[in-house]
Amino acid sequence: MTTHLLGIRHHGPGSARSVLRSLDELQPDALLVEVPADVQGALRWIGDSHLVPPVSLLGYVVAEPARAAFAPFASFSPEWQAIRWANERDVPVTAIDLPLSVTLAHVPTDELVGEAMPPDPIGDLAAAAGDPDPERWWDDMIEHRGDGVPAFDAVADAMAAAREGFVPSLEEHRREAHMRRAIRRSARGGAQRIAVVCGAWHVPALDVTSTTATADAAALRKLPKAKVSVAWVPWTHRRLTPASGYGAGVASPGWYRHVFEHPGPDGVARFFVDAARLVRARGGAASPDHLIAGTRLADSLAALRGRPRVGLGEVLDAAGAVMGGLDTVRSDLVIGDALGTVPPSAPQVPLARDVAAAQRSARLRPSADTTHLEIDLRTPTGLRKSHLLHRLVALGVPWGSRADGRSSSGTFREAWNLRWEPELSIRLIERAGYGTTLASAATARLIERSDAARGLAELVGVLDIALLAGLPDAVEPAVRRLASRAATDPDLGHLLDASVPLAHALRYGDVRGTDASSLRAVFDGLVVRAIAGLPAACRSLDDDAAEVIVERLTGFMGALAMLDHPARRGAFPAVLAQLSEQGGHGLVEGRASRLLHDAGVWSASDVRGRVGRALSGGTPAARGAAFVEGFVAGSG
């Protein structure tokens, strides 16, 4: 029985090529991989043509989904390539890292088995080699090569030297004990040629002769456990970078994918072709001469810098000197905007599966980039798009945010900015308790919000979302609570403030074919109460209160106009006429006069007479100034 420890760098393209080369040479009858042991069942999907990386395994505590951990994979990840190789050949694959049920059951500590020595193995090895740039040194030695078994022998020796004197934390000690135990179990199970794919740092510690099985069992005894579930979720290249907070991230996932797919000497030329295509698409200049000059310059820079082959630094320096457009090249090619896909049949929570089906039905594909979307609500597909996006907002999973778009008559058009972030997958899992479908979950959450709402404005907001999302089962409870609250709320300001979003909700309800008759009854009752209470509410106001009430009067008038409400032509103008002559605050009188003018209720001579009286010698100067301010404010 032989065990081969293949020490890799997570998401290293050279490591991935070396793994494939080694597996072809060794032909193991068992493959052990450093991924959490309780994701074992999900690994069989790797290699499925519909599971397209970058993707991630998401493990989460069932009772508390916010406690979760991601295990991302890219096409150039050594673990992904190793598992795919094994699945294609029916070689048993075993996940050997400490289970998520343990790591998510408690907060990791810095407790040590002995004294700590913080590891920076690549930095130490690069310094020993005389290279001040650890990333460049590792790329030159490992990631741009892919030498197979000899490369892993060299890595093992290097890491043994780097770990000399190192004492792991308790968490790391347990992880390595669990992996050693898995190697022993595989050997006892009859495997003759075992290949272990693990982080290079762990290789010296996974020598099963370095400690006893009894000691490892003691380290793993009576560990706390949580009930954990696992799902596949889409991931992005940007989320593979260290800037995203990912500890094992790589700075240039797009470049690494290119290096993995085009490892030969023509890889640099191919990269310049892609860069030229991108620069031209953005309006820049990139001719065949630029490509030739860029490739030659990159080769020359590598020779001058003593590098064994052209690296990313030389490519970017050459591209910047020859073509320009370096920011675009960095963003789109060096990092990349790839977003993986997960098939509906792969392990997912039911809610996430229903959202994916709704995305396909609405012909909306998640993207890692921000995209602008214009929706025409008069088409069935447009309505499905709008309902999907509003339901996700209602659920607290904001895939899109409303944006300014092209103007159109009525309310038949919506504009959105869309961007899918992997964190939204956790949000979906957190919200899975509300229902198994998007419609039922969004409805349940809106009903919960309406029950907890403390004011009219909050209730109207819930109602607005329910109408926009096409959720009638959420509309009716919100309407009932709104009617009850509006009938008893003694604050006229609350009624006026609620009128605008309520009118907006009614208007959208009409566009979407929603039965809003009960909502209209609530609005009509609110209008009656507001108009009846305005004269008394506008008496004896100080300056601050007058400023607030005039804005509310303007908003209320706009709400009536939005719906062409009968009160706009009868009861409300009569109240405005009363307020314009009431003898209260000049600001209120001026705004009431202006609203009567704008509505066409007063003729030019009526307006002229009222303004004249406000500016007559018998009117105090401060009162006349306030009248003018209220009259001309906005678009004087």
**pLDDT value at 109 more than 50:** no
Read off the pLDDT band of 409 (50, 70, 90): very low
More confident residue, 478 or 333: 333
Judge whether residue 207 has pLDDT over 70.
yes
The reported pLDDT for the residue numbered 38 is 93
Structure tokens at 427: 């949000």
> What is the reported pLDDT for 139?
80
What is the dihedral sign for C-alpha 361, 363, 364, 367?
A: positive
Residue 332 has a pLDDT of 85
If we measure between CA atoms, which residue out of 364, 268, 352, 260 comes closest to residue 309? Answer: 268
Spell out a b/e string for 416-442, using b for 16 or more CB atoms within 10 Å of the CB, else e.
bebebbbebbbbbbbbbebbebbbebb
At 151-175, the pLDDT tens digits run 888 889 888 888 888 888 888 999 9
| pTM exceeds cut of 0.75 | no
Answer yes or no: is pLDDT of 509 > 60: no
Residue 513 is given by DSSP the state: T
pLDDT score for 100: 94
For every residue of 198-209, DSSP letters joined together read: EEGGGGGGG-GG
CA distances 536 to 94, 141, 210, 262, 582, Å, are 78, 83, 88, 79, 10
Residue 113: pLDDT band (50, 70, 90) is very low
Whole-number Å distance between alpha carbons of 496 and 560 = 11
Residue that the structure tokens 């490739």 belong to: 295
- Confidence tier at 411 by pLDDT (50, 70, 90): low
Residue 87: per-residue pLDDT: 97
Question: Is the pLDDT higher at 311 or at 33?
Answer: 33
Report the candidate in 90, 98, 199, 195 with the shortest Cα–Cα distance to residue 142: 199
What would the two tokens of residue 5 be? 């420890």
What is the mean pLDDT of the segment spanning 380-409? 85
Taking phi over 0 as left and psi of -120 to 50 as alpha, with beta for the rest, 408 belongs to beta
Instruction: Return d(Cα 335, Cα 314) in angstroms, integer.
Output: 16
Query: Residue 204 half-sphere exposure, CB side, CA atoms within 13 Å?
Result: 17
Helix (H) or strand (E) segment spanning residue 149? helix 149-162
Q: Is the pLDDT of residue 514 over 60?
A: no
- The pLDDT assigned to 46 comes to 96
- Report d(CA 304, CA 296) in Å as an integer: 12
Q: Would you place residue 52 in the very low, low, confident or very high pLDDT band (cuts 50, 70, 90)?
A: very high
Q: Which two tokens stand for residue 170?
A: 């308790």
> Roughly how many angstroms between the first and final C-alpha of the chain, as a whole number?
91
**Confidence class for position 524, pLDDT limits 50, 70, 90:** confident
Q: What are the phi and psi torsion angles at 478 (to 5°)?
A: -65, -40
Residue 257 has pLDDT above 70, yes or no: yes
Q: Which residue has the higher pLDDT, 335 or 516?
A: 335
Per-residue confidence band for 506, with pLDDT thresholds at 50, 70 and 90? confident
Residue 32 φ then ψ, to 5°: -115, 135
The helix or strand, by DSSP H or E, that contains position 402, with its residue range, turns out to be strand 400-402
Measured CA to CA, the distance from residue 211 to residue 207 in angstroms comes to 8
pLDDT at 512 over 70: no
pLDDT bucket at 114, cuts 50 / 70 / 90: very low
* Residue 377: DSSP 8-state: T
* Residue 587: predicted pLDDT: 87
- In this structure, are strands 193-199 and 30-36 parallel, antiparallel, or unpaired? parallel
Secondary structure of residue 372 in the 3-state scheme: strand
Q: Could you tell me the two tokens for 531? A: 């108009």
For residue 483, what pLDDT is reported? 78
Q: Would you say 373 and 400 are in contact if contact means Cβ atoms under 8 Å apart?
A: yes
Distance between CA atoms of residues 311 and 296, nearest Å = 13
Average pLDDT over residues 392-399: 94
**Reduced 3-state DSSP string for 236-292:** ECHHHCHHHCCCCCCCCHHHHHHHHHCCCCCHHHHHHHHHHHHHHHCCCCCCHHHHH
* Mean pLDDT computed over 469-473: 87
pLDDT of 405 reads: 61
Model pLDDT, residue 112: 39
Residue 527 CA to residue 534 CA, distance in Å, equals 11
Task: Report pLDDT for 215.
Answer: 94
Half-sphere exposure of 336 (CA within 13 A, CB side): 24
Q: What pLDDT, on a 0 to 100 scale, did the predictor assign at position 468?
A: 85
As a whole number, mean pLDDT of residues 13-28 equals 93
Most confident of 47-61, 79-93, 406-420: 79-93
**pLDDT confidence tier of residue 7, bands split at 50, 70 and 90:** very high
Burial class (CB in 10 A: 0-12, 13-18, 19+), 498: buried
For residues 367-398, one letter each, b for 16 or more C-beta atoms within 10 angstroms of the residue's C-beta and e for the rest, the string is ebeeeebebebeeeebbbbbbbbbbbbbbbbe
Interatomic CA distance for residues 310 and 324, integer angstroms:
19
Most confident of 94-98, 351-355, 626-630: 94-98
What is the distance of C-alpha 139 from the center of its chain? 31
51 pLDDT higher than 90: yes
Determine the average pLDDT of the residues in 544-570: 85
**Residue type (1 letter), 485:** R
Digit-coded pLDDT (tens) for 301-360: 989 988 888 888 899 899 888 887 778 788 888 988 788 888 888 888 888 888 988 999
565 pLDDT exceeds 50?
A: yes
Q: What is the largest CA-CA distance in the chain?
A: 110
Confidence of residue 515 (pLDDT cuts 50, 70, 90): low
Instruction: Report the C-alpha gap between 56 and 233 in whole angstroms.
Output: 5
Cα-based distances in Å from 611 to 127, 201, 340, 553 = 84, 84, 66, 19
Q: Percent of the chain having pLDDT more than 90? A: 31
Query: Coil, helix or strand for 408?
Result: coil
Specify the residue for token string 């007479």. 609
Is it the case that residue 407 has pLDDT exceeding 50? no
The per-residue pLDDT for 636 is 58
Scan for tokens 């009656």, then name that residue.
Answer: 528
Max mean pLDDT among 86-95, 262-271, 429-438, 556-565 falls in: 86-95
Q: What integer best gives the mean pLDDT of the chain?
A: 85
Q: Are 254 and 333 in contact (CB under 8 A)?
A: yes
Q: Which two tokens stand for residue 199?
A: 């982080």
Number of C-alpha atoms within 13 angstroms, CB side, residue 249? Answer: 18
Query: Can you spell out the DSSP letters for 413-459?
Result: EEEEEE---THHHHHHHHGGGG-SSHHHHHHHHHHHHHHH--SHHHH
Reply yes or no on whether the pLDDT at 537 is more than 80: yes
**For residues 577-600, average pLDDT:** 84
- Placement of tokens 């979720």 in the chain: 233
Sequence-ordered strand ranges (E) for 2-92: 2-8, 30-36, 55-61, 64-73
